[in-house]
Amino acid sequence: MSAYIQGRLVTLVPVLIGVSIAVFLMLHLTPGDPARMVAGMDATPEQVDRVRHLLGLDQPLYRQYFGYVGRLLQGDMGRSIITHDRVIDDLWPRYQATVELTVAAMAVSVGVGLFIGIASAVRQYSVLDNALSVVALVGISIPAYWLGLMLIVAFSLRLRWFPVAGMGGLAHLVLPAVTLGAFAMAIVARMTRASMLDVLGQDYIQTVRAKGVREGRLLIRHALKNALIPILTVIGLQAGQLLGGAVLTESVFAWPGIGRFMVDAIQARDFPIVQGGVLLTALTFVLINLLVDLLYSAVDPRIKYA
């Protein structure tokens, strides 16, 4: 197991190198001049050239990239072009806020999704199954920003149960987590239903039921445990998507996360911030996939990693 983990960690290197190259090229090929943004729209061409030289943007792209990688290997992600602060100092608190929101959204999506999927599978083709399928369909179809606005109107402005926006205690987290987790909840619910139906149709389930095992114990210990492999795969993929796609939810609820910050950095052509944010998100996504792979062997002892 330890050799497998070490091997997977080694594969992080080419993945992050590929991500860094792709982001670096895309940023430098997009229209817009960071030097002009820093110098100001009223700056003379000489002033813009001076700023471009100070930022190192007048060098060939390969020199800029290798210089960036060299600093990155020393733990230096650079400094923001706009604020001149260290990139990690700007990104870390916002990254923590996004991770907090993502974890809460995953708790909502996994908890509700598993419940809906199991209930639908147990009561297949019933009124309950049809109603829960409609809920899952709505969760997939409804735009996150619209759902967020409706939740604000209903639970913040009318009922006054939760704050309208901002980051604070648990009350500030509820509506953004529900908004962000709605789509993932629907995906988890549909996958749980399909996987549970497949397992409940197996002969060993009928044997366990004939032995008089209680229905709840049968569903959790015998059926759900054997249906978890595809569900875990979907959960891992959705966790990565939630982490990288929280920008709309963060904008609606004024959540100080990395998504909104990255959008502002892209508009300002703040290359070091964008590169650092993408690398941090990519690293997190790869580690989530590694965790899911390790959970496979915990759920199913037959899976062994050499």
Q: Does residue 36 belong to any structural domain of this protein?
A: no
Q: What is the pLDDT of residue 172?
A: 86
Which residue, 18, 16, 39, 20, is CA-closest to 28?
20
**With 60 as the cut, is the pLDDT of residue 1 above it?**
no
Mean pLDDT score, 70-94 = 82
- Say which amino acid occupies 182: A
Task: Indicate left, alpha or beta for 167 from its phi (over 0: left) and psi (-120 to 50: alpha).
Answer: beta
Mean pLDDT, rounded, for 41-45: 70
Residue 268 resides in a domain: yes
What's the mean pLDDT in 216-220? 78
C-alpha–C-alpha distance, residues 305 and 289, integer Å: 15
Q: What's the domain range around 242?
A: 87-299
Across the range 241-253, mean pLDDT stands at 80
Residue 305 has pLDDT above 60, yes or no: no
- Structural contact between residues 16 and 283, judged by C-beta atoms closer than 8 angstroms: yes
Instruction: Give, as one character, the DSSP assignment of residue 305.
Output: -
Residues 6+ apart with CB under 8 A from 141: none
The CA distance from 80 to 274, in Å, is 9
Residue 209, domain member (yes or no): yes
Q: How confident is the model at residue 32 (pLDDT cuts 50, 70, 90)?
A: low
Query: What's phi and psi for 304, nearest 5 deg?
Result: -125, 140
Residue from 89, 68, 87 nearest 79 by CA: 87
Which H or E element spans position 62? helix 61-73
User: Residue by residue, what is the 3-state secondary structure of 218-267?
Assistant: HHHHHHHHHHHHHHHHHHHHHHHHHHHCCHHHHHHCCCCCHHHHHHHHHH
Q: How many domains does the chain have?
A: 1
Residue 211 lies in a domain: yes
Domain-located, residue 107: yes
d(CA 44, CA 36): 9
Measure the CA–CA gap between 110 and 37, rounded to whole angstroms: 43
- Report how far Cα 55 is from the mean position of its chain's Cα atoms: 32
Written as six digits, the tokens of 145 are: 């920003």
Is 154 part of any domain?
yes
124: left (phi over 0), alpha (psi -120 to 50) or beta: beta
Residue 80 lies in a domain: no
CATH of the domain at 229: 1.10.3720.10
Query: Do residues 121 and 196 touch, judged by C-beta distance below 8 A?
Result: yes
CA distance 211 to 209: 5
Instruction: Say yes or no to pLDDT of 112 above 70.
Output: yes
Which run of H or E residues covers position 187?
Answer: helix 170-200
Q: Is the pLDDT of residue 7 over 80?
A: no
- Would 224 be classed as within a structural domain? yes
**Contact, 24 vs 275, CB < 8 A?**
yes
Considering the chain, what is the average pLDDT of its residues? 81
Indicate the pLDDT class of residue 2, thresholds 50, 70 and 90: low
pLDDT at 33 over 70: no
pLDDT at 177 over 80: yes
Q: What is the pTM (predicted TM-score) of this model?
A: 0.81
Residue 240 sits at the vertex; the CA angle it makes with 236 and 244, to the nearest 5 degrees, is 165
Quickly count: other Cβ atoms within 10 Å of residue 134's Cβ.
10
Among candidate residues 181, 204, 203, 192, the one with its CA nearest the CA of residue 230? 192
pLDDT for position 304: 62
Count CB atoms within 10 A of the CB of residue 29: 8
pLDDT at 16: 78
